[in-house]
């Protein structure tokens, strides 16, 4: 499967003219998305959209050159419009289940994003949303690969996104997902305490089977549900064997400063050859269930630009050419994914 066009809305300057060298700082252990003006969305529709929906639609419309350029829409999200969901639940309590405003309910469902993209582009093709917590984007990616096997001449819009609202930040904070002390994202990897910092964002990809003019090629994908370090290590070795890969130029990990998860990332790094470069990206976008979509977007940027800013680098690569890139992400210690991307083909 080949990736052609990409777009990203994140806490950094990634939309339109991306600047990977710039690194905006977190506030109160959160990295909030830098939203554009969404000039392609009519104002009457935009004001009714929740944050997750407008980010998804805005990213999608900027990516599509024409309304008929895709044959289907495949989105991965763990929570969808969580903020609108909570607003609707509050209305139920406030109005005692009386006459409620339907907008918040409609915008809160996870499939509202893919549905609104379909309505905005008048696309009546395949339209689906995958909701699998930390593997939502990976399941969307798998779906896109399977659809292209069935329909080799089709093009699909693939995306992953999640927002961080005050409500779900509080819930995750109480569950121990985020750090109790204030941490700047620039110092995220020097901490040795449980928890991480919250983030949000969206990455969209136009994918098909045509290699001409593509940015990168997705060669393989593997997902694992386990808390066993040995099983994760074995899964990575099996993934390498299944894809007949012996050369690793870059390893991009979702290391997030959580001391409870560091052993998983160290384990995978130790399986890589010494000449392989190691990169990290959670200081760039924060932690959220579909952050791996940002990791894949960054891999495409590194391939295209042939430059990697220093703040991503944990260990420099000895190889001058970037060809095989492995992305390893870990969500809360039990959902693991491996993505193999090829560049310079």
Q: How many domains does the structure of the chain reveal?
A: 2
Look at residue 113 and tell me whether its pLDDT is greater than 60. Answer: yes
Residues 196 and 336 in one domain: no
Residue 165's domain spans which residues? 2-208
Look at residue 150 and tell me whether its pLDDT is greater than 60. Answer: yes
Instruction: Evaluate whether residue 96 is within a structural domain.
Output: yes
Query: At which of 184, 208, 232 does a domain end?
Result: 208
Q: Residue 236 sits in a domain of what CATH number? A: 3.40.47.10
Counting residues of the chain whose pLDDT is more than 70, the rounded percentage is 94
Instruction: Evaluate whether residue 287 is within a structural domain.
Output: yes
Residues 200 and 239 in one domain: no
pLDDT score recorded for residue 37: 93
For 164-175, the DSSP string reads --HHHHHHHHHT
Average pLDDT value for the chain: 92
Residues 227 and 128 in one domain: no
Query: At which of 158, 178, 208 does a domain end?
Result: 208
Residues 245 and 307 in one domain: yes
Residues 112 and 46 in one domain: yes
Residues 107 and 160 in one domain: yes
Residues 173 and 74 in one domain: yes
For 67-123, the DSSP string reads TTS-SEEEEE-SSSSHHHHHHHHHHHHHTTTSS--HHHHHHHSTTHHHHHHHHHHT-
pLDDT score recorded for residue 66: 58
The phi and psi torsions of 288 (rounded to 5 degrees) equal: -160, 160
Residues 226 and 185 in one domain: no
Residues 192 and 234 in one domain: no
pLDDT score recorded for residue 282: 98
Residue-wise pLDDT for 29-73, tens only, equals: 999 999 999 999 999 989 888 889 999 999 999 998 655 689 999
Query: At which of 176, 208, 240 does a domain end?
Result: 208
Q: Name the pTM for this structure.
A: 0.93
Residue-wise pLDDT for 203-220, tens only, equals: 999 999 999 999 999 999
Instruction: Evaluate whether residue 8 is within a structural domain.
Output: yes
Confidence of residue 80 (pLDDT cuts 50, 70, 90): confident
- Cα–Cα dist 100/98, whole Å: 6
Instruction: Evaluate whether residue 297 is within a structural domain.
Output: yes
Instruction: Evaluate whether residue 213 is within a structural domain.
Output: no
pLDDT score recorded for residue 32: 97
């Amino acid at each position: 499967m080949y990736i052609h066009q990409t777009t990203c809305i994140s806490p950094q300057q990634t939309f339109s003219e991306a600047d990977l060298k710039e690194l905006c700082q977190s506030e109160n252990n959160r990295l909030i998305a830098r939203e554009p003006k969404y000039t392609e969305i009519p104002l009457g529709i935009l004001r009714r959209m929740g944050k997750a929906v407008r980010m998804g639609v805005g990213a999608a419309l900027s990516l599509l050159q024409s309304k008929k350029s895709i044959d289907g829409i495949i989105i991965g999200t763990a929570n969808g419009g969580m903020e609108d969901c909570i607003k609707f639940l509050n209305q139920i309590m406030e109005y005692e289940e009386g006459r409620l405003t339907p907008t918040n309910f409609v915008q809160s469902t996870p499939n509202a994003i893919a549905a609104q993209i379909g309505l905005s582009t008048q696309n009546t093709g395949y339209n689906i949303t995958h909701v699998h917590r930390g593997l939502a984007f990976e399941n969307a990616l798998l779906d896109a690969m399977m659809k292209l096997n069935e329909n080799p001449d089709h093009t699909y819009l693939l995306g992953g996104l999640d927002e961080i609202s005050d409500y779900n930040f509080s819930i995750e904070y109480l569950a121990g997902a985020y750090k109790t002390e204030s941490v700047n994202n620039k110092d995220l990897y020097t901490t040795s305490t449980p928890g991480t910092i919250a983030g949000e964002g969206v990455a969209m990809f136009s994918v098909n089977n045509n290699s001409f003019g593509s940015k990168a090629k997705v060669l393989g994908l593997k997902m694992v549900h386990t808390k066993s370090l040995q099983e994760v290590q074995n899964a990575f070795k099996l993934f390498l064997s299944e894809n007949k890969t012996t050369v690793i130029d870059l390893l991009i990990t979702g290391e997030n400063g959580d001391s409870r998860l560091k052993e998983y990332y160290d384990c995978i790094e130790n399986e890589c050859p010494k000449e392989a470069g190691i990169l990290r990206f959670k200081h760039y976008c924060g932690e959220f269930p579909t952050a791996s979509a940002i990791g894949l977007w960054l891999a495409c940027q590194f391939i295209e630009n042939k430059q990697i800013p220093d703040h991503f680098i944990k260990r420099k690569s000895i190889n001058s050419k970037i060809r095989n890139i492995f992305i390893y992400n870990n969500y809360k210690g039990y959902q693991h994914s491996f993505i193999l991307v090829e560049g310079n083909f």
